[in-house]
Amino acid sequence: MASMTSALRLTLRTCSKISARSMLKTWHRMAGLFAAVFLLLLTVTGLLLMQADDLDLNNRYVSNDGVLDWYGIRPAPPPLTFAANKNLITQVGGRLYFESNFLLRTDGQLIGATPAADEILVATTDGLVLVTTGGKVAEKMDETVGIPHAPTHLGTTGDGTIVLKSADGLFIFEPLSARFQSAPANLSVRWQDPTVAPAGTIEAINRNYRGTGLTLERIIIDLHTGRLLGPLGVTLITIASILLLVLIVSGIILWTQRALGNGANGSSD
């Protein structure tokens, strides 16, 4: 009877060991399957980030509408365009464009653009800018250099004299000296009105407006850290990291059991 009891205990102990080892192997495989996907993602994105400078990832921009919407980079607001002879100056949001090329940022509203000697005078409610005919900023002017306070309109007289209207009255602009002088209130002025830019120009501006807000490097970093999916992504990356630790620990245990000959029936699988 005693020998039967001992044999039963030995059998139960063996079954218990086999069951525990089998459960450990099952957990090991499941953790490995789940973690492998994230490990591959971390490896690929990590390698890309290591080569970010060589691949120029910080100067490569995402233009996919779905991805831009996901990041909250919305389509450009309605444009406001003024013509200076054959050149167009357009404001979209807080950005000014020469034709379809980005010119500068502004906090004011575009009120006009007109030729001024060999340059173009661009007027906004918070300042003036002289732009070359090649679309480069030559000079910025605001109230600190003596321009009239709170400009509201830009126009020209019959002989081409440039006139700026502000809260303080009318002022004539001298292109060569870039200075203003007071003008009579009854001066006849043709104030500039907005125009409609060609569809191709607006389309190019819209691509420029959205397309320079999100780089490939930012996408890869967010993939690497899980932030692309917000809190859920960070949680998944954290879980994957924990599972990698589980894999290491369970792998060591299984290897140790195998090395010590503690597998089922004293042999390895």
Max avg pLDDT among 28-42, 82-96, 201-215: 82-96
Question: Which pLDDT belongs to residue 268?
Answer: 45
Torsion of CA 14, 20, 21, 25, to 10 degrees: 160
pLDDT above 50 for 261? yes
> Do residues 106 and 95 make contact, with C-beta atoms less than 8 angstroms apart?
yes
Q: Give me 185's structure tokens.
A: 């209130």
Q: If one looks up domain 80-211 in CATH, what number appears?
A: 2.130.10.10
pLDDT above 80 for 17? no
DSSP string, 233-249: HHHHHHHHHHHHHHHHH
Residue 113 parent element (H or E): strand 110-116
Q: What is the mean pLDDT of the chain?
A: 81
> Do residues 124 and 78 make contact, with C-beta atoms less than 8 angstroms apart?
no
Q: Give me 99's structure tokens.
A: 């034709």
Domain limits of the chain? Answer: 31-60+223-251, 80-211
Question: Which pLDDT belongs to residue 256?
Answer: 81
Residue 22's SS3 state is: helix
Q: Rounded to 5, what percent of the chain is helix, strand, coil?
A: 45, 25, 30
Choice between 206 and 108, residue whose per-residue pLDDT is larger: 108
Question: Which tens digits make up the pLDDT trace of 32-74?
Answer: 666 677 778 778 888 888 888 888 888 888 877 788 888 877 7
> Do residues 77 and 92 make contact, with C-beta atoms less than 8 angstroms apart?
yes
Is the pTM here over 0.75, yes or no?
Answer: no
Question: Which pLDDT belongs to residue 10?
Answer: 44
Looking from the CA of 78 toward its CB, the CA atoms found within 13 Å total 4
Radius of gyration of the chain (CA): 35
Place of tokens 């209130």: 185
pLDDT above 80 for 123? yes
Residue 19 parent element (H or E): helix 2-50
